[in-house]
Structure 1
Amino acid sequence: MFPIRDHNPSDRTPFITWALIAINVVVFLSYFPGIGGQERLLMAFYMDWALVPAEASQGLELHTIITSMFLHGGWMHIIGNMLFLYIFGDNLEDQLGHLGYLLFYLASGVAAAFAQMAADPSSTVPMVGASGAIAGVMGGYLLLFPRARVDVALIIFVIIKVITVPAWLMLGLWFGLQLVNGAASEAAGGGVAYWAHAGGFVAGVVLVLPVWLRRGGPGFWRHNHGLPPHAERFSEPPAAGAQPARYDDAPASTKVPRAGQRRVDRQSPWGGSR
């Protein structure tokens, strides 16, 4: 199960999200097509620029905490990461502003790196990927937009079905899988940095918490429904025969949308109609 889009428009053009995607793609194309099939050269490159917990935990090569966030291990790795960033990043940037979002993204990536180092400080396996920072974006999205609708592709053997689920369900399941797989990978010696994912996710929730509280905490879900103001959800349609109110005179919570505006069914903060 992986997301393909959300139904959560944003007011602000996500310049930083687009720039982060572009930087990751350009960096990947600058090295991987040339040395991706040569394991020795690829490993030497990663040893210089990827995060090696055994070194960073001793205060060595600390620059790799940042540089590793812009490296990837293969085509599916970068495609998956950039898809998640594209879907969830624009709404966080809308709420945090361009500079605030950039700092949030980098801070989440740093927190993810430290979480992985804390889980296995003696590891000599290079860690690469934007997954930790993007996990922070997902954690912040979960707090601010728990009931935003997300289309996910559900793959069962050879059958692919697209379903729509609330963000809290999709992101909650994803976070739970990181915890379960992280605990299992210690014994199995898995190569995915699950604890970096979990650490980045938690960091994202914590970093966005002041914004959520400043917006009114649970009231942000109640009054704004976890969506930008222009995407306000509307009440149930009026009874048959009722005269529609003029848009400019109607209360904000019951305005009839103008032609071309989007109408979205009203839902409770954790999914389901009310």
Structure 2
Amino acid sequence: MVIPVHDVNPVRGTPWVTYTLIVANFLVFVFTPGLAGSVAGDANLAELCHYEAFLDHYAAVPQELLHHRMPRLVPTGDVGVGPQGPGCVIGPPGYDKSPELSVLTAMFLHGSWLHLLGNMLFLWIFGNNVEDRMGHIRFTLFYLVCGYVGAYGFALANSDSADPLVGASGAIAGVLGAYLVLFPRARVWVLVPFLIFLPLRLPAWIVLGSWFGIQAVYSSGQGVSQAGTVAYLAHVAGFLAGMLIAWPLKPGTPPPPEPRGILFGRQARRAP
């Protein structure tokens, strides 16, 4: 798995939507109740119960998306003592939840720093060019549509799942699919783990095509021991949606400049 760090593909304007999405995701992560202790590994029981209740309220749950009904019992966020000792209290939901709206809120929730940073890295590198081609408003709608396709695509294949679905991965996968269609020949600097991290400049079709291939394999349960902990199928669905939506824009998209003598996107200086 290669790690992209920069693409050689300049934009014409400032990608305000991409920047806003990145900032919003970081702010939501920092202020998610109970998450700080959970990520650090030193959360107490009260924080864990609070976080579990928060996810149940704002995350997308496949059962709810398909059947459009709330469960009778949900985590309340309180701590109680039962026959087996202290634990999180389960009770009737004290709120009304829209399953459709939960897909939107779930796009801004992440379960760990690694989850957040990985998603935002891909959005930072590839989102600006897709936004530049689509425009701010169309890119915003595109991002949301891909997120919804990813969530519902995963839910259709996991209709009995009651596990919360969080993350912007479906929407960002759509951005990657669009980038592959619009800029397949753009050069992307990546780090390849081989004893050490080797920097290479590869065409986008290799970087993003291999990423999609890995997601497709993992979504089938092959090559990964815990496929259920990551919604790989949401990545696949979002990616395909992004490709389809961006396809009509391909004929009018100018090719990226062919880089010459460039190191990590900056013009290399010649020795005097």
Q: What range is the shorter-chain TM-score in?
A: 0.7 to 0.9
Q: Which residue of 2 aligns with 1:161?
A: 198
- Would you say 1:33 and 2:36 are equivalent positions? yes
The percent of aligned pairs where both chains have the same amino acid is 42
Q: Residue 177 in 1 paired to residue 186 in 2?
A: no
Across the aligned residues of Structure 1 and Structure 2, the Cα RMSD in angstroms comes to 2.3
Distance in 2 of aligned mates of 1:178 and 1:106? 20
2:148 alignment partner in structure 1: 110
Structure 2 contact 218–227 (Cα < 8 Å) conserved: no
Q: Are 1:139 and 2:177 counterparts?
A: yes
**TM-score normalised to structure 2 length:** 0.77
Q: Across the two proteins, how many residue pairs are aligned to each other?
A: 224
C-alpha distance in 1 between matches for 2:267 and 2:4: 22
Q: CA deviation at 1:120?
A: 0.7
Change (3 A) 1:84 1:47: same
Please state if 1:197 is matched with 2:197. no
Where does 1:16-55 land on structure 2 (aligned, <5 Å)?
16-31=17-32, 32-33=35-36, 36=39, 37=43, 38-55=47-64
CA distance in 1, matches of 2:13, 2:59: 33
The 8 Å contact of residues 132 and 197 in structure 1, kept in 2 or not, is answered as yes
Residues 124-169 of structure 1, C-alpha deviation per residue, up to 9 Å, x if partnerless? 111100011000000000000001001111113x511111110000
Match runs of 1:1-274 below 5 Å: 1-31=2-32, 32-33=35-36, 36=39, 37=43, 38-60=47-69, 61-156=99-194, 158-184=195-221, 190-213=228-251, 215=252, 220=253, 224-225=254-255, 227=256, 231=257, 233=258
Partner of 2:78: none
Q: Distance in 2 between matches of 1:211 and 1:21?
A: 25
Name the CA distance, whole Å, in 1 between partners of 2:213 and 2:116.
22
- What is the rounded CA distance, in whole Å, between the counterparts of 1:41 and 1:113 in structure 2? 24
Q: Are the counterparts in 2 of residues 35 and 41 from structure 1 also a CA contact under 8 Å? A: no
Identify the structure with the greater strand proportion.
2
Tell whether the 8 Å contact from 1:12 to 1:93 is kept in structure 2 after alignment.
no
Is the 1:53–1:123 Cα contact (8 Å) retained in structure 2?
Answer: yes
Query: Which ranges in structure 1 are unaligned for 5 or more consecutive residues?
Result: 237-260, 264-274
- Give the Cα–Cα distance (whole angstroms) in 1 for the partners of residues 123 and 201 of structure 2: 19
SS of corresponding position for 1:70: coil
Which one-letter code corresponds to 2:36 in the other structure? P
Tell me which protein shows more helix as a share of its residues. Answer: 1
TM-score, structure 1 length as denominator?
Answer: 0.76
Go from structure 1 to structure 2 and tell me whether the alpha carbon gap of 1:188 and 1:76 turns closer, same or farther (over 3 Å shift).
closer
Name the amino acid aligned to 1:95. R
